[in-house]
Every structure is written in C-alpha cells, then in structure tokens.
C-alpha cells in the first residue's frame, strides 16, 4: 500500500504545534494541519509490510497493540497517497464511527505497532486520519444518511460518551428508534467534559451530534437515569436498554487531612473549566480556579497532564505532579520489543508547557502523599510527601511500591487535584437496573458478550471493561449494537 519505496524516500512529517508560551494564552487546539499535498506524501510512506500490525487490535503483555477498531489503515493510506480523498474517507468510516474524535484523543496504538516504526519513524496514521475526516466535512462528504426503512423497535441508551454514541449511530442506521439519555447538560459524556478543549474542541462534538440528530437519533439531556428518571420507566417503554455510563467513580486518596478545603477530583476540576468556558468564556467565575495557586496534581496519566495544562492556562503560581511509579526509560528496553506498546517516558503537552513556564518538569517520580495539612480555616496549605521504592511482596511475588523510611518532606500547596484513575461503574445506576457487577464494580457479562443478567439490558464501554481508551469504547459500542440488533431481529447485518 502507498508507494512501495515511499518509506525510503520521504521522512515522517506531522502537524506543527504552537509554542508552549503562545498556546497557553487560550484553550484552543494548537496544531496546524499539513497542506493536502504534504499529507498525501505521508500516505505514500505506508509500506507493503505483508502483515499490517497497525490494524490488529491485539493485547500483548497487557497493553493494546494496533487499532482495536481494526481500521483498514493500509487501504486508506494508499487511497490518500493516490489523491482519492473521498474514497479514503469512506474506507475509514467502514470501521470507525468517529474519526473526528479518535484522530484527536487516541494515543495511536496503531502507530506504535507500525512496521515502519521497527527500524525508523512510524507512519503518521493519526494525522492522516484527521486530514481525511476534516477534508470530508470541508468538501461536503459528511451528510446525514436517514434510514429508508424504520423498524418498530425502540432502544434506550444511557450515556452519551463514545460507547453510547457508537451504539446509537449503528442501531439508528439499522432503522431502529434510538433515544440517548445524558445526565449532563450537553451531549458527549467523557468527550465533552472529561477531555479539555486543547485536545478536543467542543464544536467538533456538536458538529457530529447535529448530523446524528438529522439522521433520527434523539438526545435527552439533564436526564440522570436512576435519579430524576426512573429506570423502571425506561425498561417499560423500550425494547432494549444499553448502559454506557462510563467508569465514573474517581479513585480517592485516603490520608489524614483529606477533608481539607481546596482538594478536588480532577474530573470535577476539568468539568468546571470546560462548562464555564462554553457558557461564558470563563467570565461567570463558576469553575475551580488555579490562578495564583500552588497546585499539586496527584497522578501521572493523561488526566493528570490535562490538569497541568489547564492549571497553567488559569495562571497557576507553581505546579507539582506526583507519580508513584519510577520514571520510564527514554528508549525501549530489551524486554519491551516491537510491536508491544512502547513503555517509554512521554513528555505530554502539559508537561512541555510547565517546563516552558516554570523552567522544570513538574513530575516527581516514586512519590506519594502521606498527609494533607490544613491552616486554621480548614484550607489545605501543605502536603507531606514520601518517597517510594519498588519491593517484591513476599506473599504474592508482585513488585509493590513501599515507603522509604525517613524520606518524608513537606511542600506548600493550596490546590490539590486528584487524578488517580477511576474504579468502575456508579452503584446508583447499576442498582436502579438490577444488573450484577464483578469485583471491580464493572457490569458483569459473559466473556465477549454484552448482555447483562437482566433481560433486554446490555452494557458497553468503560462501564463494562473498566477505564480504557476511546477506541475500545467505540468498538464496544459497535459490538453491543450488533448483539442488540440480533436479539431484536433474529439476525444482524451491522459491521
């Protein structure tokens, strides 16, 4: 696919990012796409590798390798190289419901598994994807496709994140009547309020939702099923129900002083900023502000990085980001060969901005919080930290991070953001529908299936598999749609 010698002739080239000190002046996306002719050259780099690991979607050594959506990457790279932009977009859409989202927020396991990356730079798959979908909108290829025939089946989808939207999109195409219930005031779930504008501007979501509305999908916002909307009413009025509410329980830090004022979960911090930004461009002041604050971010993943980037845009006085685990190597280790996901140190946009603003990387590795210290008004004013080391547990044989005696120290803080991950589905939803959960509080199903223990109730996405990638949520949304369709109709022709 592509040009057979393209990977030898052309260097990898990606979009240009604004400098950190310029982009922190606003909350906009900050990459400028390549011109079309240059993007086509990037398609030419896709080599005839025989076995395209990029589209494999396998789990190797506990991590995703290749695209879980099994995107037909070599095919649309070839079409892109040859200038067949519309056909390339159509091929992309065969397997991916929302390339406008994945091309912005997916960590690109496809590129990590690219054969060209074994001895050089991988193909710029993610940016090729974005160029195809953005060109499709600009060229008018993206038009509502209203089903010619409607069934009499009604399906309720609880949650409008990527899994719920993918299921809705597929089932509506089949001709069923689909209603999506969203507890927030805007559609999008994780995409809307969990991911900052810098990574995904919200008009991108609204653009796609408007297409889905024209195609016949109904959206109901401010509908918190299990609280202000009764689950029993949903079960009575709809033929099938799909739960796609995400893994919404943030993991807490239970140490002395946790009840101090000024300590928030990252999801609440990020949501408040996005909501205020959309409502008033931050003029209403209805958000958790980091302006002039000494910020402590607990957690080193994507959400922690988003907290760093958002805090800098607020005008934070300083930022420290804690990571419990040791710093990863800068290069692949011998025990982490291609095509495994590369376990290497990544400096993301928020850390880049912190380095530019404060002159140093905000991350403190092998460190955790021992105690939060309050002032006389009950506000957090300091954090007592402790260094950690890796030791093998005598009982399990697993490596555990344990405290180093005498390594405690204090830092001044007046805003703490907990970005330590999520622990599964929320009980008020699962209890309302009576579905069983497993030991991790994810909704239980048979392996590779999506039906719950309750008749006509299905589950997909993070609520089913636990906190995961957007591409996995989209895949599960498409898979549950097939299972629901087959249950309702006796067969399915969904792909």
Say yes or no: 38 and 159 in one domain.
Answer: no
Domain with 312 in it? 263-418
Say yes or no: 286 and 202 in one domain.
Answer: no
Q: Tell me the pLDDT tens digit for each residue of 269-280.
A: 999 999 999 999
At which of 374, 393, 418 does a domain end?
418
**Over residues 212-232, mean pLDDT:** 97
pTM of structure: 0.95
At which of 375, 403, 418 does a domain end?
418
pLDDT > 80? residue 74: yes
Residue 144, in any domain of the structure: no
**Over residues 64-69, mean pLDDT:** 94
- pLDDT given for residue 253 in this prediction: 94
Residue 253, in any domain of the structure: no
* Average pLDDT of the chain to the nearest whole number: 96
Say yes or no: 116 and 179 in one domain.
Answer: no
Specify the CATH number for the domain of residue 379.
3.50.50.60
- pLDDT given for residue 395 in this prediction: 81
Say yes or no: 409 and 283 in one domain.
Answer: yes
Q: Tell me the pLDDT tens digit for each residue of 258-307.
A: 999 999 999 999 999 999 999 999 999 999 999 999 999 999 999 999 99
- pLDDT given for residue 399 in this prediction: 84
- pLDDT given for residue 1 in this prediction: 59
Residue 122, in any domain of the structure: yes
At which of 105, 139, 173 does a domain end?
139
Q: Tell me the pLDDT tens digit for each residue of 373-401.
A: 999 999 999 999 999 999 988 788 788 99
Specify the CATH number for the domain of residue 125.
1.10.1060.10
Say yes or no: 62 and 122 in one domain.
Answer: yes
Say yes or no: 131 and 277 in one domain.
Answer: no
Residue 163, in any domain of the structure: yes
- pLDDT given for residue 254 in this prediction: 94
Say yes or no: 338 and 242 in one domain.
Answer: no
3-state SS string for the chain: CCCCCHHHHCCCCCCEECCHHHHCCCCCCCEECCCHHHHHHHHHCCCCCCCCHHHCCEEECCEEECCCCCCCHHHHHHHHHCCCHHHHHHHHHCCCCCHHHHHHHCCCHHHHCCHHHHCCCCCCHHHHHHHHHHHHHHHCCCCCCCCCCCCCCEEEEECCCHHHHHHHHHHHHCCCEEEEECCCCCCCCHHHHHCCCCCCCHHHHHHHHHHHHHHCCEEECCCCECCCECHHHHHHHCCEEEECCCCCCECCCCCCCCCCECEEEHHHHHHHHHHHHHHHCCCCCCCCCCCCCEEEEECCCHHHHHHHHHHHHHCCCEEEEEECCCCCCCCCCCCCCCCCCCCCCCCCHHHHHHHHHHCCCCEEECEEEEEEEECCCCEEEEEEEEEEEEEECCCCCCEEEEECCCCCEEEECCEEEECCCECCCCHHHHHHHCCCECCCCCECCCCCCCECCCCCEEECCHHHHCCCCHHHHHHHHHHHHHHHHHHHHCCCCCC
Say yes or no: 431 and 403 in one domain.
Answer: no
């Amino acid at each position: 696919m592509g040009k057979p010698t393209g990977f030898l002739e052309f260097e990898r080239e990606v979009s240009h990012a604004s400098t950190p000190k310029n982009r922190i002046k606003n909350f906009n996306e900050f990459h400028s796409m390549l011109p079309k002719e240059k993007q086509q050259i990037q398609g030419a780099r896709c080599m005839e590798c025989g076995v395209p690991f990029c589209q494999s979607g396998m789990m190797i050594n506990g991590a995703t390798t290749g695209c879980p959506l099994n995107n037909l990457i070599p095919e649309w790279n070839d079409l892109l190289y040859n200038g067949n932009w519309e056909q390339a977009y159509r091929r992309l859409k065969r397997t991916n419901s929302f390339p406008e989202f994945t091309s912005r927020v997916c960590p690109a396991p496809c590129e990590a598994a690219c054969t060209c990356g074994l001895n050089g730079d991988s193909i710029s798959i993610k940016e090729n994807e974005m160029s195809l979908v953005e060109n499709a909108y600009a060229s008018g290829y993206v038009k509502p496709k209203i089903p010619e025939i409607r069934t009499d089946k009604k399906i309720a989808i609880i949650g409008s994140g990527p899994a719920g939207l993918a299921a809705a999109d597929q089932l509506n195409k089949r001709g069923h009547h689909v209603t999506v219930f969203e507890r927030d005031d805007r559609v999008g779930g994780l995409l809307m309020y969990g991911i900052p504008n810098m990574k995904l501007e919200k008009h991108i979501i609204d653009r796609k939702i408007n297409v889905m509305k024209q195609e016949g999908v109904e959206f109901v916002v401010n509908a918190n099923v299990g609280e202000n909307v009764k689950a029993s009413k949903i079960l009575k009025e709809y033929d099938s129900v799909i739960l796609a509410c995400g893994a919404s329980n943030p993991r807490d830090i239970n140490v002395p002083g946790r009840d101090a004022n000024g300590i928030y979960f990252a999801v609440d911090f990020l949501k408040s900023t996005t909501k205020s930004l959309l409502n008033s461009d931050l003029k209403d002041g209805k958000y958790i502000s980091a302006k002039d604050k000494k910020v402590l971010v607990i957690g080193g993943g994507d959400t922690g990085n988003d907290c760093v980037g958002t805090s800098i845009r607020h005008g934070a006085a300083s930022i420290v980001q804690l990571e419990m685990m040791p710093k990863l190597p800068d290069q692949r280790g011998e025990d982490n060969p291609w095509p495994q996901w590369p376990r290497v140190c990544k400096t993301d946009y928020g850390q880049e901005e912190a380095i530019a603003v404060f002159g140093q990387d905000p991350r403190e590795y092998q460190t955790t919080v021992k105690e939060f210290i309050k002032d006389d008004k009950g506000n957090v004013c300091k954090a007592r930290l402790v260094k950690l080391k890796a030791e093998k547990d005598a009982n399990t044989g697993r490596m555990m991070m344990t405290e180093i005696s005498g390594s405690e120290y204090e830092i001044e803080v007046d805003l703490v953001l907990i970005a330590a991950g999520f622990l599964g589905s929320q009980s008020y939803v699962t209890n309302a529908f009576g579905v069983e959960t497993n030991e991790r509080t994810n909704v239980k199903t048979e392996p590779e299936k999506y039906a719950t223990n309750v008749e006509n109730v299905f589950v997909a996405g993070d609520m089913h598999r636990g906190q995961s990638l957007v591409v996995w949520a989209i895949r599960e949304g498409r898979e549950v749609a097939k299972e629901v369709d087959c249950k309702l109709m006796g067969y399915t022709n969904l792909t």
